[in-house]
Amino acid sequence: MGVYRIREYGEPILRQKCRRVASLGSREKRVLSQMATAMYKAQGVGLAAPQIGLDEQLIVVDGVGDLIKLANPLILLKDGESIMEEGCLSLPHTMVKVKRASRVIVEGWNENEERVRIEGEDLLARVLQHEIDHLMGILIIDYVFPGEKTLHSDNLSINKRGERNG
């Protein structure tokens, strides 16, 4: 199988809450590796399974130079606060100021089926939160204040059926 196509805003999978992964078999490990390839090819720092069309709680993150692959990630702790502009591979040409915790502790299963805890600060904390949001059907535009939504409307041309125009 080649590199996955990254889904863009308007595709229904991006608004779904993803199902938990029952186990990390060879298929799931292959998906995580292919997700990492797709993320790097798109010059991203994180990717969640719904962004490649899969309804599974899988993420890959490389916010600080080390690739992290997780199944069923859960944020155990949020601390501090930071507001920064974020982009998203599923929302090309769109940047949104998002307030997030500046430090998180995330628990999940690595590809060796070991429960791991990851402490992330600054960029890593932001990317982990962003990708976990995707697993819940949350996008960065959901953080935009109502008055600012018109600023992003040119980049988010969506028809009534939720499909991308043009």
- Domain containing residue 77: 12-152
CATH number for position 31: 3.90.45.10
Question: Residue 134: CB partners within 8 Å, gap ≥ 6?
Answer: 14, 48, 49, 50, 51, 59, 90
Q: Does residue 120 belong to any structural domain of this protein? A: yes
Q: Does residue 165 belong to any structural domain of this protein? A: no
Q: Does residue 93 belong to any structural domain of this protein? A: yes
- CA-based nearest residue to 90, from 40, 129, 51, 41: 51
- Mean pLDDT in residue range 80-86: 96
SS (H, E, C) 11-66: CHHHHCCCECCCCCCHHHHHHHHHHHHHHHHCCCCEEEHHHHCCCECEEEECCCCC
Q: Does residue 158 belong to any structural domain of this protein? A: no
Confidence band (pLDDT; 50, 70, 90) for 65?
A: confident
Find the catalytic residue in 28, 56, 81, 131: 131
Has 131 been annotated as catalytic? yes
Confidence at residue 7, expressed as pLDDT on a 0 to 100 scale: 97
Mean per-residue pLDDT over the chain, rounded: 89
Confidence band (pLDDT; 50, 70, 90) for 4?
A: confident
- The pTM score is 0.88
Biggest CA-to-CA distance, the chain? 47
- Name the strand (E) or helix (H) holding 99: strand 91-100
**Six-digit token string for 67:** 């690739």
Confidence at residue 141, expressed as pLDDT on a 0 to 100 scale: 94
- Distance CA(37)–CA(60), nearest Å, equals 10
pLDDT at 63 over 70: yes
pLDDT tens for each residue of 6-24: 999 999 999 999 999 999 9
Confidence band (pLDDT; 50, 70, 90) for 64?
A: confident
Q: Does residue 4 belong to any structural domain of this protein? A: no
- Distance CA(150)–CA(130), nearest Å, equals 22
Confidence at residue 2, expressed as pLDDT on a 0 to 100 scale: 61
Q: Does residue 55 belong to any structural domain of this protein? A: yes
pLDDT at 31 over 70: yes
Instruction: Using alpha carbons, list the distances in angstroms from residue 4 to 1, 40, 80.
Output: 8, 12, 35
**Six-digit token string for 159:** 């028809």
Q: Assess contact for 97 and 152: CB atoms under 8 A.
A: no
Count up the domains in the chain and report the number.
1
Q: Does residue 87 belong to any structural domain of this protein? A: yes
Confidence at residue 140, expressed as pLDDT on a 0 to 100 scale: 96
pLDDT at 3 over 80: no
pLDDT tens for each residue of 140-164: 999 987 655 555 555 554 433 344 4
Q: Does residue 51 belong to any structural domain of this protein? A: yes
